[in-house]
Structure 1
């Protein structure tokens, strides 16, 4: 009899590799959200017995961690070349693009305190940029933590619709209605402004 994770004849079932399980789970999350993900539904998508999944992933929390790690491994920021300000902009732009590919997972993950790990490409890339910018070594982690919090807040507001809703509000009761071009709801203008604000904050913090 074939064991769990193996097809008949001793061949390992490709569907029950970590890559196969987490990739299928990510497709479900992209389509229906994190709340709709279950071990039973994932097993149905993979075409396997639900109990066989537990030999590879003990519970939904572990499954979500694996999917998060899968996405983290896909993030390869292009930070070489140019001044540090340009590197930071490209870094933020690339992570935002990844977030837009998987908004359901990102919005959920941003609420988790361990979403960013020290060994993740996000953290190593960001702290590398800050080091090249001239942030003192004793302050790189603190500055990186603040930037991560601010950028995460932007992505969360963008992902859950808060940014787009606020961007079209009238600034005063007497002002005319905001237009899509002036408010740039859902566009890149707000993102550029956010990154420029972060860069200005770092520049003001650098030793003179």
Structure 2
């Protein structure tokens, strides 16, 4: 087994050699936290098992004792971010609780923008029963919240899918808002819409000021207003035997 840079480190005379010092044991959580740091800085493509081993300060074979391959690392990174998202299944107002969850998810996405693609795709790459408890916990608790509110099990699942589909779409859209000319004050110029023939894209050109004034917080709240109002109406008008 190759030695790590830490194992080969020189030490001042009279001190214990680095290879003989007691070091903190490597844990799966420490490996995943190091991977999260790499992805936060350099994106998913910047994360390799060699870089991960260097970040942890161990030989790559030590890393493989905790995560079998890069795919397992990516799953684990999504897991430790999802661990920070909680749903209060006992909340008295289900719509208010979903607003809290939505705001928390957006905050996590903005804290870890380069991890967002993993949050959207990695759980779906694993059969439901094989996903980690951290990934499944929001689903279980949200189903409990909604069923307590009066939704059938089937409808609660539909609400969960619609809700997180909206959240995933929102954060991906917000994180990809890029302007072409930040110094310009005119929306058409800032967004590069002047490149589009006005005869073919009159509405996009007309809405340039609105597009340019994009506000992620306001957009999230407006989307939640539309979504939750519709879901609440569906619940109040629903057939209790449906589902």
Provide TM-score, normalisation by structure 1: 0.78
Q: Which runs of 4+ in 1 moved over 6 A?
A: 7-10, 168-171
Contact 2:34 2:55 in 1 (8 A): yes
2 CA distance for matches of 1:161 and 1:129? 33
Match of 1:145 among 148, 161, 167: 161
The structural deviation recorded for 1:77 is 3.9
Q: Match for 2:139 among 123, 126, 129?
A: 123
Aligned to 1:203: 232
Task: Supply the RMSD in Å over aligned alpha carbons.
Answer: 3.2
Shift in Å at residue 171 of structure 1?
Answer: 7.4
Q: Is 1:13 equivalent to 2:42 in the alignment?
A: no
Question: Which has the larger Rg?
Answer: 2
How far did residue 118 of structure 1 move? 8.5
Q: Is the contact between residue 135 and residue 207 of structure 1 (CA under 8 Å) also seen in structure 2? A: no
Change (3 A) 1:91 1:47: same
How far has the Cα of 1:146 moved from its partner? 2.5
Figure out how many residues of one structure are paired with residues of the other and give that number.
196
SS of 1:206's equivalent?
A: helix
Question: For structure 2, which runs of at least 5 residues remain unmatched after alignment?
Answer: 1-17, 179-186, 194-200, 238-243
Query: Which of residues 166, 172, 176 is equivalent to 2:203?
Result: 172
**Aligned partners of 1:24 and 1:42 also within 8 Å:** yes
Kindly indicate whether residue 102 of structure 2 is the aligned counterpart of residue 86 of structure 1.
no
Q: 2:134 aligned with 1:97, yes or no?
A: no
Deviations 1:124-152 (A, max 9, x none): 23223322332123321222222222222
Secondary structure at the aligned position of 1:155 is classed as helix
Distance 1:106 1:100, change over 3 A: same
The 1:187–1:154 alpha-carbon spacing in structure 2 relative to 1, beyond 3 Å, is closer
Question: 2:170 aligns to what?
Answer: 154
TM-score, structure 2 normalization: 0.68
